[in-house]
Amino acid sequence: MPTLNSRRCRLLAGVLCLTACGVDTGPEPAGTEVPAAASMDLATARWVDLSHPYDASTLYWPTSPSGFELEQLAWGPTEEGYFYSANRFRTPEHGGTHLDAPIHFAAAGRTVGEIPLERLIAPVAVIDVSARAAADVDYRLQRQDIAAWERRHGTIPTGTIVLMRTGWDEYWPDPLRYLGSDAVGDASDLHFPGFGEEAVRLLVEERGVSMVGVDTASIDYGPSQDFIVHQIANGADVSGLENLTNLRELPEWGAWLVALPVKIAEGSGAPVRVVALLPAE
């Protein structure tokens, strides 16, 4: 049976199965295990779409030179009598539900096309700070938030994808509520939650996570001007997922994440379809 270094994919009797065999989870307390997905086949598992669609309402960073554009190239019956449609689309890398590759803030970082699959398909931990974010629009994930999660579930295993749930997706696609400002071309007065510097250092330097993500416009909080979270994460070869949605449907632990970006060879980012795989029960 063919294997991947840290995860295996098997097709048995026509049913796709994922398994956690070989994942390096590092030292863990009793009861903390990478959720095996070998029994989560497509016939019984539940899939959750964590991506916003791309259309005319898709939000981009305020300084983005353009948004999503879809140009119709063909639509209707052909001379031969069959129906045919085709479009051309255009989009900046960083907008909508997208992935930030390490090269986004690290000169020696990997491009989108260089990110290994094992960093894009992995167990997912969800840290819910929606109550704190509701009370503080500029809330940043703290080390104590991670500690509280680990008291319930054990140490976050190496290779995990960690998502921060703020509840901000309910404001999409209203730029004033989602970004804190609807000023075009001006990103100097944005307000939304994100990861804190010490929290992301813990995740990437001590836990060895493979990716971090959030249901806001940036893994850095809105007022950030130095994007220190991007610098730390990308500098440690950790990609970021931004503008996620539906994180409320995921458990804190027990699901797997599949985040496959458009494979732009030299890209610093790319649109990404993110889905979670949950056990039927």
Dihedral sign (CA 35, 40, 128, 274)? positive
- The neighbouring-strand residues paired with 165 are 128
CA distance linking residue 137 with residue 139, whole number of Å: 6
Spell out the residues 6+ positions from residue 93 whose beta carbon is closer than 8 angstroms to its own: 264, 267, 268, 269, 270, 271
Residues contacting residue 207 through CB under 8 Å, at least 6 positions apart? 155, 156, 157, 158, 160, 162
Cα gap 141→144, rounded to integer Å: 8
**DSSP category for residue 245:** -
Tally Cβ neighbours within 10 Å of residue 209.
Answer: 24
Alpha-carbon dihedral angle through residues 127, 132, 137, 138, given to the nearest 10 degrees: -70
Q: How far apart are CA 109 and CA 270, in angstroms?
A: 15
Catalytic residues: 104
Got the DSSP string for 70-135? Answer: EEEEEEEE-TTS-EEEEEEEE--SSBSSEEE-GGGT-TTSPPGGG--GGGTEEEEEEEE-HHHHHH
